[in-house]
């Protein structure tokens, strides 16, 4: 299989924009009155990163589940519905959605960040009409649109990954701190299919209803289908546990649509009945059979035989690392991380300092987590590839010297992975305090320009405070680029004050 060569992000966005603006140029409801989709918000993962993570997980699913080929009538039918729904989403916030049908008996559907969506045959046959099937798809599409998985991954990463650096009392809990390079979570198919929260569910219902309405499907059908699932209980347990009922689904949707102008909803029932009849003839497998077959490679072989292959969406650059099933991170061009010449003064509470204007601050979401100052493109699934990570520890033993505390932090960082100190800790004065500086070497979470793993250079600086707390700061860059960033790091360090 050949993959498109890497394109610049600007070009990529332009291509996606064109594709979707064409799709969007169809007769629509009067602008002033029809419900508008909400702002999807932002995450630390770029669009390209979300697509890469989603595509990598989709490739894994093609190895572990029986998928119908794109040419199958079921897939063709589901795609038609999908395209009609996608056409309601303004280009700027849309995704290159792709639709796949799984030969599974149970009712289920799921969507990955970036827009790969999987619908079980069992979902098609369980629906009473096209609007119900469209309802499930619009709900999944809403999760992608709102970037729920990316937002959850970001939270999980901060909690499990860099967060591990924090809160541990030194001299205890060996291994509680992960190395910077290894600290992040490993992204696999399971990771990107996290269970949604009830808040996410309520939002996916809201947004899904708007998508349905704009596509002229009755949003009520989405609630009907969920209610049917709850009533059946046993056939859609996975779906219900992944998508917990936010409560009063039916009432919430009714309330939402009440103020919208009346329109004639389409039924699409002739096409639906034909597709459903056809779907009833497809050989399907139970979740247990699918799990068994995944172990023996049965589905991978079957999919290849049937011509069910996953192709990347237009414009998606696939990094060799993700093709090889390694890191989800792609190469990061220098221009995406280069610090701007303008610096911003930032008050971080414990410390004040300057930072490059284009390196945003990500505050810890929980006590004990690290604070990150980094260009967005450098925050990847495996950790932070370029930037600055800050945290503080309180030594349990007040008599520990700054050398002992620094050693303990290094040992803790080492316990999580392949990080090694380079040389000895040197004295340094920061904000009038006498701290230590030591260089470390590890593996960057970002591959080099050839997609190969590359070395990372980290500089750990420890600064004792009057109250016994020790602030520690790690400056991070691939070894190859460290010297280019050194003046920026130096400027940040010199600007620090309590
Ligand atoms: Zn959901």
Domain containing 457 — which CATH number?
Answer: 3.40.1000.10
293 C-alpha to ligand 1 centroid (Å): 27
Output the CA 143–ligand 1 centroid distance in Å: 7
Query: In this structure, are 273 and 337 located in the same domain?
Result: no
Inside any domain, residue 143: yes
CA–centroid distance, 254 to ligand 1, in Å, is: 18
CA of 65 to the centre of ligand 1 (A): 21
CA of 287 to the centre of ligand 1 (A): 20
Q: Distance between CA 172 and CA 89 in Å, rounded?
A: 52
Distance 263 CA to ligand 1 centre (A): 26
In-domain check, residue 172: no
Distances in whole angstroms, Cα of residue 111 to Cα of each of 100, 135, 214, 236, 327: 10, 14, 20, 16, 21
- Same structural domain for residues 362 and 402? yes
Residue 3 domain-assigned? no
Cα–Cα distance, 279 to 446 (Å, whole number)? 43
* Cα distance between residue 208 and residue 206, in whole Å: 6
Number of domains in the chain: 2
364 and 458 fall within a common domain: yes
Distance 110 CA to ligand 1 centre (A): 8
Cα(38) to centroid(ligand 1), Å: 17
**Pair (278, 422) in one structural domain:** no
Q: Is the dihedral of CA 269, 270, 272, 276 positive or negative?
A: positive
From residue 97, alpha-carbon distances to 52, 60, 153, 317 in Å are: 13, 17, 20, 16
Residues with Cβ within 5 Å of ion ligand 1?
196, 201, 204, 243
Put simply, whether the predicted model's pTM sits higher than 0.85 gets the answer: no
Q: What is the pLDDT along the chain (498 residues), one digit of tens a residue?
A: 222 223 333 232 222 222 222 333 334 444 447 899 999 998 878 888 888 888 888 888 898 899 999 999 999 999 999 999 999 999 999 999 999 999 999 999 999 999 999 999 999 999 999 999 999 999 999 999 999 988 877 766 554 433 333 333 332 222 222 222 222 223 333 444 557 889 999 999 999 999 999 999 999 999 999 988 888 776 667 788 888 888 888 899 999 999 899 899 987 789 999 999 999 999 999 999 998 998 899 999 999 999 999 988 877 765 443 443 333 457 888 988 999 989 988 887 778 899 999 998 876 654 455 678 888 888 775 578 899 988 777 777 778 899 988 888 887 776 555 778 888 999 999 989 999 999 999 888 888 888 888 888 999 999 998 888 888 898 999 999 999 999 999 999 999 998
- Tell which residue, 80, 77, 85, 87, has the closest CA to residue 22: 87
Is there a domain that residue 250 lies in?
Answer: yes
Residue 127 Cα to ligand 1 middle (Å)? 17
Rounded distance from Cα 48 to ligand 1 centre (Å): 23
User: In terms of domains, do 313 and 333 share one?
Assistant: no
> By residue range, what is the domain housing residue 445?
329-495
For residue 267, being part of any structural domain is answered with yes
CA of 268 from ligand 1 middle (Å) equals: 24
Q: How far, in Å, from the CA of 230 to the mean position of ligand 1?
A: 14
The answer for 98, left when phi > 0, alpha when psi is -120 to 50, beta otherwise, is beta
Ligand 1 centroid vs 239 CA: distance in angstroms?
Answer: 8
Pair 313, 340 in one domain: no
Q: Which of 294, 318, 342 is the last residue of a domain?
A: 318
CA of 204 to the centre of ligand 1 (A): 6
297 CA → ligand 1 middle, Å: 30
Cα–ligand 1 centroid distance for 119 (angstroms): 13
Decide if 167 is inside a domain. Answer: no
Distance from residue 139's CA to the centre of ligand 1 (Å): 6
Q: Which of 383, 491, 356, 378 is nearest to 430 (CA)?
A: 491
For the chain, the distance separating the N- and C-terminal CA atoms, rounded to the nearest angstrom, is 56
Contact by Cβ (8 Å): 51, 319:
no
**Same-domain status, 13 and 44:** yes
161 assigned to some structural domain = no
Ligand 1 centroid to Cα of residue 384, in Å, is 30
Residue where a domain terminates, one of 318, 348, 375: 318
> Are residues 86 and 134 located together in one domain of the fold?
yes
Beta strand residue intervals within 124-212, DSSP E: none
- 462 in the same domain as 363: yes
Task: Show which of 288, 318, 348 is a domain's final residue.
Answer: 318
Give the distance (Å) from ligand 1 centre to CA of residue 60.
Answer: 22
Q: For residue 221, what is the enclosing H or E element?
A: helix 220-232
Cα(71) to centroid(ligand 1), Å: 28
Same domain, 232 and 373: no
Q: Which secondary structure element, helix H or strand E, spans residue 486, and what is its range?
A: helix 479-495
Q: How far is the CA of 215 from the centre of ligand 1 (A)?
A: 19
CA of 201 to the centre of ligand 1 (A): 5
In a domain, residue 56? The reply is yes
CA distance 112 to 334: 28
């Amino acid at each position: 299989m050949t993959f498109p060569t890497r394109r610049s992000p600007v070009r990529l966005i332009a291509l996606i924009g064109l594709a979707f603006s064409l799709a969007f140029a169809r007769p629509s409801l009067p602008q002033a009155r029809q419900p508008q989709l909400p702002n999807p918000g932002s995450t630390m993962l770029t669009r390209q990163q979300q697509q890469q993570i989603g595509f990598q997980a989709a490739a894994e699913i093609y190895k572990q589940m029986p998928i119908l080929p794109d040419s199958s009538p079921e897939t063709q039918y589901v795609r038609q519905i999908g395209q009609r729904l996608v056409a309601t989403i303004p280009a700027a916030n849309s995704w290159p959605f792709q639709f796949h049908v799984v030969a599974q008996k149970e009712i289920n559907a799921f969507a990955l960040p970036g827009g790969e969506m999987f619908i079980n045959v069992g979902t098609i046959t369980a629906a009473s009409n096209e609007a119900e099937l469209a309802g499930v798809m619009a709900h999944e599409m809403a999760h992608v649109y709102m970037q729920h998985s990316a937002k959850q991954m970001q939270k999980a990463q901060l909690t499990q990954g860099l967060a591990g650096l924090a809160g541990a009392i030194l001299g205890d809990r060996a291994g509680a701190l992960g190395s910077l390079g290894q600290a992040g979570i490993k992204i696999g198919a399971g990771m990107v299919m996290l269970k949604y929260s009830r808040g996410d569910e309520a939002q996916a219902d809201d947004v899904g209803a708007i998508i349905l309405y704009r596509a002229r499907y009755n949003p009520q059908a989405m609630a009907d289908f969920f209610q049917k699932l709850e009533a059946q209980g046993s056939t859609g347990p996975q779906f219900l546990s992944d998508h917990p009922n936010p409560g009063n689904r039916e009432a919430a949707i009714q309330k939402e649509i009440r103020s919208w102008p009346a329109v004639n909803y389409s039924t699409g029932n002739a096409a639906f009945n034909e597709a459903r009849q056809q779907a009833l003839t497809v050989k399907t497998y139970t979740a247990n059979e699918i799990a068994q077959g995944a172990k023996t490679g049965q589905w991978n072989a079957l999919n290849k035989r049937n011509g069910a292959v996953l192709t990347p969406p237009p414009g998606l650059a696939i990094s060799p690392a993700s093709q090889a099933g390694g890191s989800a991170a792609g190469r990061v061009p220098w221009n995406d991380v280069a610090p701007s010449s303008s610096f911003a003064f930032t008050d971080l509470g414990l410390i004040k300092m300057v930072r490059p204007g284009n390196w945003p601050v990500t505050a810890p979401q929980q006590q004990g987590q690290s604070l990150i100052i980094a260009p967005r493109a450098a925050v990847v699934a495996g950790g932070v590839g370029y930037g600055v990570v800050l945290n503080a520890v309180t030594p349990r033993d007040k008599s520990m010297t700054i050398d002992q505390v620094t050693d303990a932090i290094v040992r803790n960082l080492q316990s999580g992975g392949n990080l090694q100190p380079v040389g000895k800790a040197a004295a340094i004065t920061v904000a009038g305090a006498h701290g230590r500086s030591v260089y470390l070497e590890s593996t960057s979470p970002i591959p080099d320009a050839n997609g190969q793993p590359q070395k990372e250079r980290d500089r750990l600086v420890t600064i004792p405070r009057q109250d016994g707390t020790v602030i520690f700061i790690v400056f991070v860059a691939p070894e190859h680029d460290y010297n280019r960033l050194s003046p920026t790091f130096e400027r940040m360090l010199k600007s620090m004050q309590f």
